[in-house]
Amino acid sequence: MEERDRLEAYLRDRGLKMTVARETVLRAFLGLERHVSAEELYDEARRLDPSIGQATVFRTIKLLADAGLAREACRDDGARQYEHAWKHGHHDHLMCVRCGAVVEFQDDAIERAQEAVYSAHGYVPGGHRLELLGLCPACAGTGGGKGSA
């Protein structure tokens, strides 16, 4: 498993250790092909190993993020969210505010325009977060416009 190797390398570089708990969290994370909160990840990890502690999951997901395996985002309602980052190219999100459906997309025009903004202000690019909100076709079709007044 390439991700496991990556984590092990990361740990070794820092004098840290590869443990069964960390591997459990990694497997739980990789098994969930969507955005997860630490809480959800905890639930999944417990399915793989009921003895795992919540603190460990919190600690480990942060480690995964540092190691470049997970990407951290922030959600409106408080809980932080994590998504796969390893060999998953950069992408942004298009989310339906009604049903929560998420589309991951990548758009060169947007990326280029962002580069232009960076250089216009003399900044050195270092990542970005873009979230487009709106109504998905299904929700828009079922009267999602406003109130049905």
Partner DNA sequence: GTTGGTATTGATAATAGTTATCAATATACT
Partner DNA sequence: AGTATATTGATAACTATTATCAATACCAAC
Interacting residue ranges for DNA, rule: CB under 7 A:
11-12, 15-22, 37-39, 49, 51-56, 58-60, 62, 77-80
Q: How far is the CB of 33 from a second copy (least distance, A)?
A: 19
Least Å distance between CB 17 and DNA? 4
Q: How far is the CB of 14 from DNA (least distance, A)?
A: 8
Rounded CA gap, 146 and 149, in Å? 8
Asked if residue 73 lies in contact with residue 83, where contact means CB atoms within 8 angstroms, the answer is yes
> Least distance from C-beta 68 to DNA, angstroms?
17
CA 111 to chain centre: 19
100 membership: H or E segment, kind and range? none
129 binds, among DNA, a second copy, none (CB under 5 to 8 A by kind): a second copy
DSSP state of 19: -
Would you state the torsion angle of the CA atoms of residues 142, 93, 85, 81, taken in this order, to the nearest 10 degrees? -70
- The entry of DNA, a second copy, none near residue 69 (CB within 5 to 8 angstroms by kind) is none
Residue 47 interacting partner from DNA, a second copy, none (CB closer than 5 to 8 Å by kind): none
Closer residue to DNA in complex, CB, 62/139: 62
Binding site for a second copy (CB under 8 A): 72, 74-76, 78, 94, 96-97, 103, 105, 107, 109-110, 112-114, 116-118, 120-137, 140, 144-145
Distance between CA atoms of residues 86 and 96, nearest Å: 25
- The answer to whether 24 and 49 have CB atoms below 8 angstroms apart is yes
131 exposed, middle or buried (CB, 10 Å; 0-12, 13-18, 19+)? exposed
Query: Of the two residues 32 and 139, which places its CB atom closer to DNA in the complex?
Result: 32
